[in-house]
Every structure is written in structure tokens, then in C-alpha cells.
Amino acid sequence: MRGRRVDRTNDKVFGIGLSRTGTTSLNQALQLLGFRSVHFPADPVTRFELGSYFRSRRASRLELSIVRHVDALTDTPTVPIFRELSALYPSSRFIMTTRPRSEWLDACDRFWSSAMADLFSIHSPSPFRDYVQLINSAVYGRTDFARGVFSDAYDQHLANVRDWFSHAPSRLLELNLFAGEGWGELCRFLNRPVPAVAFPHVNTLEQAKQSILERLARQ
């Protein structure tokens, strides 16, 4: 984590885009704007808290301790709980990165066939692998890639988010980095000056694979 902390209240920022929609780029952009932002939170405490919540959602209240120490979270761990986060942090804002469906499906196919396949092939105990599978099941309904299932999940997520924030549209930004959107839209939404640097575009397939290897080494 880097960057000065800009928020000490409940005015958090949550990136709720699906995999391969530019969530890593958004995370770096938030850091450049001064937010203490964490991409795909997977520390042991978060793994325990989300695991417990997903397994007994009806019987427990969401606890996400990491939110007390950062300004922003991005990527799929926040996707299945955006409603809960919205209620817990009523001044928070949400950024849903998007991508054309067919292009997104192709990107997911490549990612699951490569980086995810390597991760899921691990036979020794792996808390990080188990956590990724838990998150994928919560977001997509399965751990492996299936084009039809993912297509339905894509449509459902966009519809759910838009419906939830229809009463408070000022809390939601839809950001399509693949259509050239970037600093202008993001900085207007967050009321931040535009940095004098290019908007980050990171996390190629090879970078994603390397990130997974590094997380496995730290688990």
C-alpha cells in the first residue's frame, strides 16, 4: 500500500468491477490520487472474515476489518458484498469498471486458461487458492470459466449495481477504461485534480500471472 491516507471517516471508495475490466489500473490510479488503496484484498484476516460471511451470510453480519485501515478496495472480493458495503459506509462511493461483453469474455477465457489454471493446479494446501475459488464462486457461481455462465453473471452484475444505486446515482461511477475513459471521469467523480501523468494501464496476462505467484509466496 502506498500514498497518503486521505480519509479517516466512512467516506470510502470501492471498486466493484469484474475480473479483467481494469481493476488493477483503477487501483493504481486511486493510489496516484492519494488514496490508500488495496487491490484484491487477500490478507489472512480478510480471507477469514469473507469466508465466514459467505458460508453463513444469513446468520452473520459482515465484518471487514481492512476497511478501517485503508481508503479504497478494488476487485472481485468487493463485488458480492457491494450492497452490504453501501449500507455499512453510507458516504462511500463505488466505481464499476466495465468492458464490452464479448471482449470481456475473451479476456476471461484467456485468463482462466492460463493464470487461473496454474493456480488451481496446485495440489498442496493453499489458503490463497482456496480464497480465490471462494470469491469466484461468489461472483460467477463457479470456479472455472464457462462462457455462458460468465455472460449471465456479467449481465446480472451490471443490472444489480445499476438497480441498487438508481436511488443514489451520485454514489456510482461506471468507468470504461477500454473506451478511453480515465482521469477526467474519475477525478470529477472523486473531486480530485487530474494528475500530470498518464492514466495507468497495467495487469497484462503475464503481469497477472506474476502477481498470483507473488501472492502464493506470501500466503
Question: Tell me: the pLDDT tens digits for 14-48?
Answer: 999 999 999 999 999 999 999 999 999 999 999 99
Asked if residue 85 lies in contact with residue 78, where contact means CB atoms within 8 angstroms, the answer is yes
Amino acid at 129: R
Domains in the chain, number: 1
- Residue closest to 177 by CA, chosen among 27, 11, 5, 10: 27
Residue 125 in any domain: the answer is yes
Residue 100 in any domain: the answer is yes
Residue 8 in any domain: the answer is no
Domain range for residue 22? 13-218
Residue 6 in any domain: the answer is no
pLDDT of residue 99: 97
Residue 202 CA to residue 198 CA, distance in Å, equals 12
Question: Tell me: the pLDDT tens digits for 109-121?
Answer: 999 999 898 888 8
In the numeric block, the cell 468492458 is attached to 99
- Residue closest to 139 by CA, chosen among 214, 82, 204, 203: 82
- Residue closest to 39 by CA, chosen among 213, 218, 206, 203: 203
Task: Enumerate residue ranges in the chain where pLDDT < 70.
Answer: 1-10, 58-59
Residue 5 in any domain: the answer is no
- Residue closest to 80 by CA, chosen among 124, 37, 141: 141
pLDDT of residue 206: 79
- Residue closest to 13 by CA, chosen among 122, 33, 21: 33
pTM of this prediction?
0.91
Residue 2 in any domain: the answer is no
Q: The CATH number of the domain where 18 resides is what?
A: 3.40.50.300
Residue 66 in any domain: the answer is yes
Residue 24 in any domain: the answer is yes
